[in-house]
Structure 1
Amino acid sequence: MEKKLSANAMLYSIGFVFMLACSVGAFFYGIEVGVDKTESRYEAEKASASAKATVSPYQQQDLVSFYHTVFLPYREFQSEWFDAVDKLTQGESIDAASAFKELSSLAKNKAGEASSFNMQNSPLLGEAQVSYIRSLKLFADAASKAAASAKSAKGEELLQLIAKEKNYATAVAQSLAAQQAYYDAMLKWSSSVNVDIPSEYKLSAQLDLAKWETLPITVKNKLMADQLQSRKQITAFYPHDLTSRVDEFIISGQAVKMKLGTVSGIVALLLDTDAVRSGDFAGSQAKLYKKTLLPQLPFFSMNAD
């Protein structure tokens, strides 16, 4: 009987030990599975975060959104401003006081339009947006003062007063800073699309023609925006119009004939002789830039103004 009990006890003991071993094994297996799942989830989240970090803040859509919501309102005001100034320069009959009063109101309205869309997720575009808005507000003040001055000053005298006005000078500086940031954002975009294009390129007064001809179009355009800013020169044409005139000047052989060995020298000549017009880029696009990498923006179109 004792032997039988001992056998039963032994069986129970073996069964208990077996169940205990299974429980311990299951416990540690569960821990291992949990750790694996946690690690997998961590790696997935890490990969997702890394993917988000590598996405450029300068996407095609960002550049397009900026163009329509910020750049165009500014450009529409700028066009009206240049029109009024041209009429004064040419001595045309114009009610200057009324014209500049309307320009002041237009600048305020366009500043409101340019503020309607948040571009701050793209640092350079956010910077350009702020600068364009500031420029418009300063132009509004400058135009208001011009309207008051127009009661006693006419034509060239009025233009000289405007040019000396502090708000006007700051408005121009803000406009050029905004333009430079926008073209810099285009360069960043092209670099994210094509790794062979640098994301940064510094303006050099000694940039020679051989080096210039090797540069991608977005680098050239950015450098022309830099050139205009360095000269504190606000223009009716775009930086890419200046790019095309520089390229045409080199290709035509004029640079060699005139012994101009730097891009800065050519730019100075073109600007001093008023040889650049809005639309010059579109006129050369089919011949010079048909296969170049550019964002799909209206002012790069052959139908651009």
Structure 2
Amino acid sequence: MKAKVETEQAAALEAQKEQAKKERLLREQKLYNEQDFIRFYYSVYAPLLKLKQAHFQTMAKLTEAQMEEREAALKQLAEETESILQAVEKDLALAGSPLLAQAKSHFEESLRSYLDGIDEALSDQNSNALNPDGLASRLNLFTNNWLKAQGYLYKAIAMWESVYVNKQALPKELPQTVSVALWKDYPFHYRTYVAAEYLAQMKVYDSFNPEDLTARLDLLFRSQEAATLGIKDVPSAIRLLEATDAVRSGDFKQLHPKLYAGLKAPEIPMYRE
């Protein structure tokens, strides 16, 4: 019993030291530098966005396609995924950005799950296995890993914002429900991290990215529509936008001039107009 207590105390002390070191490095602006985001974007995220686009384009075609065409399309998608996985798995120096390292690891796992899901569908004798609904049931692990990885990525960007823009620590944890008023108080990149976390909680894997959802939420909350509809928190707003198919890939860049003049962000293409 005594040994167990001592082990737990030693582990807690080590965790405190690690946290103190992290806080010191953040104050000294030695974590989450611009170059880490640039390396991550071009080595990891850009290929993943290409695959995401290919996935949704393929899903749109499957419903009307013949069986042979479905098989060919999914085999092509698997080949692209395999190629992207090999590229993403390459070593990348991210010691100064642990959240990006975690995002990379989970994205890799999501790609492996994606390949497993497609392989399972192609091996199934049931013709319904190759339609979008049949595939979705086999890609649950993929989407869970992707959404988790996405959360790490956007938290890393929020961390960059807190260190280099606002110079204020991130909140210790998210509240159980983010109200509209609280959402408006958050800086942009932290709002986008919140959006990514809600997408993960709701298991929403769609063609748009979290910054597109943030832009649509900001537009909604600026209008009188949210109040008219009685929307008081972010989850309710997301459910409304998702149910009405109101969020589109590219919404952030389209709304950027109207909503985000002077926005500071890492120098990566996803934030360029």
TM-score range, shorter chain: 0.7 to 0.9
Aligned to 1:138: 113
CA distance change for structure 1 residues 103 and 259 in 2, over 3 Å: closer, same or farther? Answer: same
For residue 221 of structure 1, the aligned residue among 188, 192, 195 is: 192
Aligned to 2:249: 278
Q: Distance in 2 between matches of 1:52 and 1:278?
A: 33
For residue 88 of structure 2, the aligned residue among 92, 114, 120 is: 114
SS at match of 1:194: helix
Q: Distance in 1 between matches of 2:26 and 2:153?
A: 23
Kept in 2, the 8 Å contact 1:103–1:140? The answer is no
SS at match of 1:182: helix
Aligned to 1:85: 59
Aligned to 1:237: 208
Aligned to 2:183: 212
SS at match of 2:203: coil
Calculate the TM-score normalised by the size of structure 1.
Answer: 0.75
Q: Distance in 2 between matches of 1:86 and 1:51?
A: 46
Calculate the TM-score normalised by the size of structure 2.
Answer: 0.84
For residue 74 of structure 1, the aligned residue among 36, 48, 51 is: 48
Aligned to 1:60: 34
Q: Give, in angstroms, the shift of residue 205 of structure 1.
A: 4.5
Q: Distance in 1 between matches of 2:99 and 2:169?
A: 16
Gaps of 5+ in 2: 1-23
Task: State percent identity of aligned pairs.
Answer: 26
Q: Distance in 1 between matches of 2:192 and 2:219?
A: 14
Kept in 1, the 8 Å contact 2:27–2:163? The answer is no
| Residue identity opposite 2:62 in structure 1 | L
Q: Distance in 1 between matches of 2:46 and 2:264?
A: 22
Q: Any idea what the Cα deviations from partners look like across 1:33-76, whole Å, max 9, x if unmatched?
A: xxxxxxxxxxxxxxxxx879833321111111101101111121
Match runs of 1:57-206 below 5 Å: 57-89=31-63, 91-92=64-65, 95-121=69-95, 122-149=97-124, 152-154=126-128, 158-165=131-138, 168-200=139-171, 202-206=173-177
Q: Any idea what the Cα deviations from partners look like across 1:119-166, whole Å, max 9, x if unmatched?
A: 4412111111111111111111212222334x65158x733322222x
Kept in 1, the 8 Å contact 2:34–2:266? The answer is yes
Q: Which structure has the higher relative contact order (CA within 8 Å, separation 6+)?
A: 2
Aligned to 1:15: none
CA distance change for structure 1 residues 110 and 261 in 2, over 3 Å: closer, same or farther? Answer: same
Q: How many residues align?
A: 248
Q: Give, in angstroms, the shift of residue 282 of structure 1.
A: 0.8
